[in-house]
Structure 1
């Protein structure tokens, strides 16, 4: 990945690196990869059919123009009544299997850039519409200090099927703004953010060093128009 000097302007000022996760740091869409994994593991062929049903509904809603935040809420509705303990255990198994598989799980250029930032003293923060059971093992692995994500509501150890605020689009912006507000010593102009999709723009626009990962032409064009030297590809 080019254009990602791990220190802001060569100074010793503290800075934060915000990174999207799905298709920015890892090659899969974690929510859907895990949904398929846990349904098939628990229910076999019936789980495969349930996964196809859920994703078909999501596909139709997306085609009809449903906001990504609404789709995010629908996704978590599928966990209503599920045990948090069970889902967390399955998520740990999913993460272990994916990270030990011969299939590439990480996008190496992003992982390498984040490691360089951390070595330079930056604080790493993951920002995602995914949820803690999938993101916390990843945060531990890469040394992220914080996860800003969608958090499903729970009651008596089970998911209710509802969420507080989807961390999608403007939700990412709000989460990052709140995090920056709690770190007044950090200048957002010194910070970096990595994203792969136009929906990451509300987050990317908050920092002085936005980085595009992948080949989304709209995202690349948007960042190139703003500051050409900050865009990058894998």
Structure 2
């Protein structure tokens, strides 16, 4: 990832949107947490359950199932789980991952967000993951807002359903809503970070899109976008 200037144009306020999984952190938070909580609670049986779920995820992905539908399939496994319990397990997951000594953050992105905040930007995390996993990350990087998939809750328990997964078009809609809430901000001054072509609907909304990692297709699409603008 290149090191562009973080200064807002002419000192104007601006927003920085960042994907999370494999953009800010090295893991896919939803599945990393799924493994953590299943093994923590059920031991070897939890490990087998995790492998069964992941085999189904891989099968659906190979069959061309939309990422939004895989996202819904994932949250279906939390039906009946107390929100408070999942929140406690999420804090445990975050503490373990950040104290284990292994690489958890993608430092280039973390440093970029820190620099943007120092320049006066508001940082917004945008993710298909859900609040228990994103809240500690938002605290750590100083994000002002989290736009994410929000599982439905009834009587303090997850129902297993979600309204709109914040992936692809859902991510674009969430970012558009955030921009609409800030009429003082010009999208051309804003930045966005992503690692996958599914982040393109978000990245196309801002003047400074940044591809993180080795996302060849995403980089190509962004290069074509720039070429089209300057042609």
Q: TM-score, normalised by structure 1?
A: 0.95
The runs of 5 or more residues in structure 1 that have no matched partner are: 229-234
SS of residue in 2 equivalent to 1:154: strand
Q: Give the match for residue 232 of structure 1.
A: none
Q: Give the match for residue 77 of structure 2.
A: 78
Query: 1:2 and 1:220 mapped to 2: Cα distance?
Result: 12
Aligned residue pairs total 227
SS of residue in 2 equivalent to 1:126: strand
1:52-101 deviation per Cα after TM superposition (whole angstroms, max 9, x unaligned):
01011111111111100000000000000001000000000000111111
Does the CA-based 8 Å contact 2:8-2:119 persist in structure 1?
no
Query: 2:79 and 2:50 mapped to 1: Cα distance?
Result: 15
Q: Give the match for residue 181 of structure 1.
A: 180
SS of residue in 1 equivalent to 2:104: coil
Query: 1:4 and 1:210 mapped to 2: Cα distance?
Result: 11
Query: 2:177 and 2:115 mapped to 1: Cα distance?
Result: 25
Q: Give the match for residue 7 of structure 1.
A: 7
RMSD of equivalent CA atoms:
0.9
Query: 1:203 and 1:176 mapped to 2: Cα distance?
Result: 7
Q: Give the match for residue 118 of structure 2.
A: 119
1:196-228 deviation per Cα after TM superposition (whole angstroms, max 9, x unaligned):
000000000000000000001100101112227
SS of residue in 2 equivalent to 1:102: coil
1:15-62 deviation per Cα after TM superposition (whole angstroms, max 9, x unaligned):
000000000000000000000000000000000000001011111111
Query: 1:146 and 1:53 mapped to 2: Cα distance?
Result: 34
Query: 1:78 and 1:7 mapped to 2: Cα distance?
Result: 43
Query: 1:32 and 1:18 mapped to 2: Cα distance?
Result: 22
Query: 2:142 and 2:226 mapped to 1: Cα distance?
Result: 29
Within 5 Å, which residues of 2 pair with 1:92-131? 92-131=91-130
Q: Which runs of 4+ in 1 moved over 2 A?
A: none
Q: Give the match for residue 201 of structure 2.
A: 202
Within 5 Å, which residues of 2 pair with 1:116-195? 116-195=115-194
SS of residue in 1 equivalent to 2:78: coil
Query: 2:107 and 2:226 mapped to 1: Cα distance?
Result: 24
Q: CA deviation at 1:8?
A: 3.2
Q: TM-score, normalised by structure 2?
A: 0.97
Does the CA-based 8 Å contact 2:76-2:161 persist in structure 1?
yes
Q: CA deviation at 1:3?
A: 4.1
